[in-house]
Amino acid sequence: MTPPVTTRATAPEILARCRALVRPALTQAVRRLHPWPAEMAAFSLGWSEVGGRPVPGPGGAGSHGKGVRQALTVLGAEAAGGSGADAVAGAVAVELIHTFSLLHDDIMDGDETRRQRPSVWKAYGTGPAVLAGDALFALAVETLADSRNVHSGAAVRHLAGTLNDLVRGQAEDLLFEARPWTGPEAVSPGEYRTMAGHKTGALLGCAAGLGAVLAGAPAATADTLTRAGRHLGVAFQAVDDVLGIWGDPRVTGKPVHGDLRRRKKTYPVLAAVSADGPGARELVALLASGDALDDADARRAAALVEEAGGRRAALAEAHRQLDRARGCLESVPLEPAAVGDLRTLVPFLVDRAV
């Protein structure tokens, strides 16, 4: 007798399943805010327009983001032998922290657009956007602390460590802006990886580990899932850096060559300027000139980054980090179905840039 053929869910299907599980609790949590920060939160999440008018579509079809962090939290619980329902409060908290960080990062970086719309500070003002971010931060901690899960205390401690990491990563990223492009004080690709591990990796690591904590997993299991998520986060950041230079604005929601125009020290650029060759030297001269980059300059800079191997190096680093994440998943006993879903998501984070 021929065994039945089982079809594994695709990455979009996995993400949709996890979003559907988390969305009611996320909506309920945002409604607990003061109406003004709640409106800004709903705008940032893609649920509404400026002024609060709902985005058309069933269940908020305009919702922004793919929900990778939510999915990691749900799958982390399932991989540890729990149910996705165990992780809902954690998934809500992680999504709220992620949204808070985007609101504040856009202000610090001066980014005027996000996901093809004005960023919150551009739409509502800097002060209101800071307030909304603060409200989301507090709501995330409150949501997790108030959950009826017996492991909520450990989960709050897990989240608190992540928040310190996020601040550390953002501080390092901001300080990089003042450092030179060449010489002993230049930012190395290795330093950038460390920063990305704090700024981006910490929250994805928190998401996967938090699900395991809420499922009552042993510390070793939660720690391993946290490490896997951190590796995914560094990979995610490397891919994001590639998209920041060569991504389609219709997909990224940001202007083409936006990172180059701001002379942002991203992985592809740092890998390129650290290479030896005429292209790298021309790129350094262009970026260090202090003159505003017009369209032609930005295109030339992008071409030089590619010529010097920056794009190739960033994608190679992303794949190295994904391999390390896979290694983590193989190092402890986990539920096979959930691990299969995690393995399906892993290449999805890189495929969006190639």
Q: What is the pLDDT of residue 352?
A: 65
The neighbouring-strand residues paired with 117 are: 114
Q: Supply φ then ψ for residue 207, to 5 degrees.
A: -60, -50
- Checking if the pLDDT of 228 tops 90, the result is yes
Q: Give helix then strand counts, H and E, for the chain.
A: 17, 2
Q: What is the mean pLDDT of residues 229-241?
A: 94
Q: What is the pLDDT of residue 4?
A: 47
DSSP conformation letters of 259-275 = HHHTT---HHHHHHHTS
Using pLDDT thresholds of 50, 70 and 90, give the confidence band for residue 247: confident
**Cα angle 238-239-244, degrees, rounded to a multiple of 5:** 95
Can you read off the two tokens belonging to residue 315? 């994608």
Which residues does 255 contact at the CB level (< 8 Å), separation at least 6?
A: 113, 249, 261
Q: What is the pLDDT of residue 106?
A: 94
Instruction: Give pLDDT tens digits for 68-107.
Output: 999 999 999 999 999 999 999 999 999 999 999 999 999 9
User: 3-state DSSP call for residue 113?
Assistant: strand
User: 3-state DSSP call for residue 114?
Assistant: strand
Superfamily (CATH) of domain 12-336: Farnesyl Diphosphate Synthase (1.10.600.10)
Which of 2-16, 27-41, 50-64, 78-92 shows the lowest mean pLDDT across its residues?
Answer: 50-64
